[in-house]
């Protein structure tokens, strides 16, 4: 479903991605781990054209995401993204944050957009907060609205970039529960997270990235318990 071929990306003299390749099948939950600065966020951003690659290719099914004629806005509907920083519009309610894109991008009627927004809010357990403004919501609730907003666009793949790192443990849990529910629904996901419990329970594959390279990739049990590379073992010891 998602094919990443030999991605290279530099900022100035710094090579941030150095030949990253990865395949994600439909229904896969690929968890990316690696030290700070290893290129995890850059890689995710290249997958939906928030960042342009220097060379290499990304394919979503038959579509070349990185193709010069591909519309990044169309890609961003098909590949939804949830960031660490919760980027809701503060002057809009939870529901309005979701209907905005449905009306502007999808051209849905007010009633249609509202129905869809409420159904997505219900999916993340926040229908009762539909009329609340971001300031009235907890960090975990805001993050769940962000997830609902991405889901409303019917994405084929969801990208998560450390969605819980800014949250207290109990608020993290409510976000992780929503993510686990998406896993159970068969959503294809690429997730950057330090939540190893989620990774163990939900991931179909773990990719360990260091200095812009895939050091190791495999099923969770192998990568966590029996990594082939010493560098991988050291990383997991350091975060334990
Ligand atoms: P990670 O998410 O694994 O912590 P990032 O992809 O955020 O890593 O960053 C990898 C490296 O690229 C870091 O050294 C970072 O400073 C650099 N970098 C990321 N984005 C930019 C940018 N927009 N401009 C310049 N340097 C950047
Ligand atoms: Mg990052």
Cα-Cα-Cα-Cα dihedral sign, residues 141, 145, 150, 152: positive
DSSP-assigned states of every residue in 145-179: HHHHHHHTT--SEEEEESTTTTS-HHHHHHHHHHH
Give the Å distance between the CA of 42 and the centre of ligand 1.
6
39 lines ligand 1 (CB under 6 A): yes
Give the Å distance between the CA of 210 and the centre of ligand 1.
12
Pocket test for ligand 1, best of 9, 11, 13, 36 (most atoms within 8 A of CB): 11
Residue nearest atom 24 in ligand 1 by C-alpha distance: 11
90 lines ligand 1 (CB under 6 A): no
The pLDDT value recorded for residue 117 is 98
34 phi and psi angles, rounded to 5 deg? 160, 160
What is the largest distance, in Å, between two alpha-carbon atoms of the chain? 56
41 lines ligand 1 (CB under 6 A): yes
Neighbours of 164 (CB within 10 A): 23
* 225 Cβ contact partners less than 8 Å away, ≥ 6 residues apart: none
Among 67, 30, 65, 29, residue whose Cα is nearest residue 47 = 65
The pLDDT value recorded for residue 96 is 98
Residue nearest atom 26 in ligand 1 by C-alpha distance: 11
> Full-prediction pTM beyond 0.90?
yes
In this prediction, the residues of the chain whose per-residue pLDDT falls under 50 are none
């Amino acid at each position: 479903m998602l094919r990443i071929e030999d991605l290279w990306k530099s900022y100035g003299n710094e090579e941030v991605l150095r030949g990253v390749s990865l395949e994600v099948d439909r229904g896969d939950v690929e968890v990316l781990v690696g030290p700070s600065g290893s290129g995890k966020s850059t890689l995710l951003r290249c997958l939906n054209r928030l960042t342009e690659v220097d060379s290499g290719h990304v394919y979503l099914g038959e579509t070349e995401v990185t193709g010069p004629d591909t519309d990044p806005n169309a890609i961003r509907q098909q590949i939804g993204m949830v960031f660490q920083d919760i980027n809701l519009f503060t002057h809009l309610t939870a529901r309005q944050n979701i209907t905005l894109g449905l009306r502007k991008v999808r051209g849905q009627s007010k009633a249609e957009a509202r129905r869809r927004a409420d159904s997505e809010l219900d999916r993340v357990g926040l229908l009762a907060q539909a009329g609340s403004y971001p300031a009235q919501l907890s960090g975990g609730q805001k993050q769940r609205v962000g997830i609902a907003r991405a889901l409303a666009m019917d994405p084929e793949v969801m990208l998560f970039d450390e969605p819980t790192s800014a949250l207290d443990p109990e608020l993290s849990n409510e976000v992780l529960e929503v993510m686990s529910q998406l896993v159970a629904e068969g959503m294809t996901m690429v997730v950057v997270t330090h939540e190893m419990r989620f990774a163990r329970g939900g991931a179909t594959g773990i990719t360990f990235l260091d200095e812009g390279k895939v050091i190791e990739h495999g099923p969770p049990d192998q990568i966590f318990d029996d990594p082939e590379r010493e560098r991988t073992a050291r990383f997991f010891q350091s975060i334990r």
